[in-house]
Structures are given as C-alpha cells and as structure tokens.
Amino acid sequence: MCGRFVMARATADLVSAFGVDDVAGPEVRPSWNIAPTQRVRLVTERLDPETGELTRLLETARWGLVPVWAKSASVGARMINARVETVTEKPSFRAAAVKRRALVPAEGYYEWQKTGAGKIPHYLTSEDGSLLAFAGLYEFWKDPELPEEAEEQWLMSCTIITTSATDALGHIHDRTPLIVPPDLQADWLDPHLADKHDVRQLLDAMPEPRLVPRIVSAAVGSVRNNGPELIEPAG
C-alpha cells in the first residue's frame, strides 16, 4: 500500500512540471509526511463539451476516495489506495477509472519493511530526483448534512492506485504506487479515454518504476513529525 508520501514542491514547480493551464482549490502546504484524509494536489484534465478544448488543472482533494453513494465521508479513510488488478471492476472505483483519472504529484513515498525486530521505514524516490506521478482517481461527494447553499457541500476526494512491487522493491513491501511515466501521462489524463477495456490496456502498459530506497528515521511513523529531516538517511 501507499500510506505516506512527500510533496514539498511549490505550486509554480508543479504547474511547470505538468504543463498546467490553471490552478483551482485551496493551497496545500509543503509536507514531508502526508497522511490519509489530508489535502493533496492532483493534476486533472477537463473537456469543455461546447468547444472541445482540454484544460489541464492543478486541483486540491482529500486523500481517501469517498464514493458518491457513501453515507459519510469517513469511508474515505479506508479507500486511500485502489488495487490496479481490480480498479476497473470494484464498485467504489470503476466509474472513476473511466471518467475521473488524475496524477498525484509526489517526490517520494514511505514504506515499512517487516522484520523480526519490528518495522523499518524506507523512503523511495526516483533515481534522478525528478517528480513522480502516481496514478490516481478522484470523485465528488455531496454531503447530505449540509444545506444546498453551503460552500463545502461538495467534497473532492482521491485515491492512489497500487500495483505489485518489483523484485527490487518487493523485499520492502509487496505493494507500490503505480507510477505514470511522462510519455503516458497525457493518455492517462485524456477524458476521451472512456472505455473500460482501453483503460485496462493502458494500466497494463505502465512500466515498472525505477526507484531508489533508503532507510530513514522511525520519526516518520508519527504524523506530528514533518520536515525535510524525515527523508534523510538514518544515522
């Protein structure tokens, strides 16, 4: 699974890296310890039905997808990840998989390796330090407890798709975020791609990521700790 990750770059950096046309939603603070239910940045692409023009957006969503049929937003805490093997079939995710795909920018993520003495935290990032783009889905949920005119009535939430870990990373954990390479990011975001079987083919075409792991401090285990020292190699 992916339960903690890092995104500390400025909004301007994300706009440049992902060719964003417009920014929407509240600002998100830099974080070296993003946890479920917190706000994260998403890159999405919307199609104007009248002009046919595409607009690439940098938006803000709560991490943990809340399906449209949910009675409470609290279910999102259990839906921070979606397995690539079943994402086009499971009721919670299948509609979003064909209609609401996103990229979740990240500098890296944490995973805990189980050992006889406990769990060892690792930080995984790209070989060259470039930004990662997790394959994500998003959904809009209407809070039935709020009045129609309430500004916060609609919640935008998201999930990160995971896949089986490669041999090089499998010794740390058996799951890893599905990372969309630059040459497939436009295809992943394209709202014209709306057939389940085509989405499935694109998912299957995603290459294995080349990531570099390093052991970091156990301090990352507490969401109260947040700073660049968390990604430094453990002493």
Q: How far is CA 141 from CA 56, 68, 76, 95, in A?
A: 22, 5, 10, 13
Q: How many CA atoms lie within 13 A of 87 on its CB side?
A: 31
The catalytically annotated residue of 2, 59, 139, 158 is 2
CA 14 – CA 80 distance, rounded (Å): 22
Angle (nearest 5°) at CA 86 between 82 and 92: 55
- Single out the residue of 93, 90, 110 nearest to residue 102, CA to CA: 93
SS3 203: helix
CA 114 – CA 112 distance, rounded (Å): 6
The catalytically annotated residue of 45, 59, 111, 139 is 111
* Active-site residue, 2 included: yes
SS3 200: helix
**30 neighbors 7 (Cβ within 8 angstroms):** yes
Chain centre to alpha carbon of residue 90: 18
Which amino acid belongs to residue 20?
V
Query: Which residues are catalytically annotated?
Result: 2, 111
